[in-house]
Structure 1
Amino acid sequence: MRYQFILDERLGIPLPHLRLDWEEYTGEERADILLEWEEIRATIPDRILKIEEVIIEKTRQLSEEENFARSCELNNEIHELASLINDLNIWFRVQQDHDTKTHQ
């Protein structure tokens, strides 16, 4: 197979793994890749919302936590979740950025 989508455990979504430069794929292959990516991409906003709910809960816990070590753990967990949201937002824009470049 000249391309595939492989699950990224951290992000919780499959990501494209292209073995060729984009221009080397046929028009049909590009359409297939974009269709599959668009289906995956559509799940990203819901994934982000779920992560935001976890951040809100951890922030609530942090505001009530009296143990310094646990506060540090919660803060690190919140930081990692925020980083995850940032990365998901970057992947969410991939198709949009490609469409913008294609139409220029």
Structure 2
Amino acid sequence: MHQHFTFNQRLSIDLPTIKKDWEAFSSIEQQQILVHWETIRGKIPDRIKSIEVLINRKQEELSNESDFETSCKLNHEIAELASQINELWLWFRTGQDVTLKGHY
């Protein structure tokens, strides 16, 4: 099953890497892939919450920072973390579409 997923370092989750048409999989394989994806997808909100905690810490640091270069670095880190959250939500929502299609 794990051959259909690859760990994404930036997002810290496995992402689907399906290398053939969905219809080429048997219905059992499709179901196994969907179940595995649902397990991963179910962890996305927790991953987002942990990133939000990091953002809040960095925003606190930023509000107390007087050094311009350090402030720029913190702003960049916050933007990167926010980008990760955005991408995780996209994967979470994409999963809903795949799951709904997979059950019909």
When normalised by structure 2's length, the TM-score is: 0.90
Q: Tell me the residue number matched to 2:92.
A: 92
For residue 6 of structure 2, give the secondary structure of its aligned residue in structure 1: strand
Select the structure with the greater relative contact order (CA < 8 A; seq sep ≥ 6). Answer: 2
Amino acid at match of 1:34: L
Tell me how far apart the structure 2 counterparts of residues 29 and 103 of structure 1 sit (CA, whole Å). Answer: 13
Between stretches 91-100 and 51-60, larger displacement belongs to 91-100
The CA deviation at 1:101 is 5.2
Q: Is 2:6–2:15's contact at 8 Å kept on the other side of the alignment?
A: yes
Gaps of 5+ in 1: none
Note the aligned Cα RMSD (angstroms): 1.8
Between stretches 91-100 and 35-44, larger displacement belongs to 91-100
Per-residue CA deviation, residues 67-100 of structure 1 (Å, 9 max, x unaligned), is 0000000000000000000011011112212245
For residue 17 of structure 2, give the secondary structure of its aligned residue in structure 1: strand
Question: Quick one: percent identity of the two aligned structures?
Answer: 49
Gaps of 5+ in 2: none
Amino acid at match of 1:31: Q
**Runs ≥4 residues deviating over 2 A:** 98-104
Tell me how far apart the structure 2 counterparts of residues 27 and 16 of structure 1 sit (CA, whole Å). Answer: 17
Tell me how far apart the structure 2 counterparts of residues 101 and 4 of structure 1 sit (CA, whole Å). Answer: 18
1:69 maps to 2:100 = no
Tell me how far apart the structure 2 counterparts of residues 44 and 28 of structure 1 sit (CA, whole Å). Answer: 25
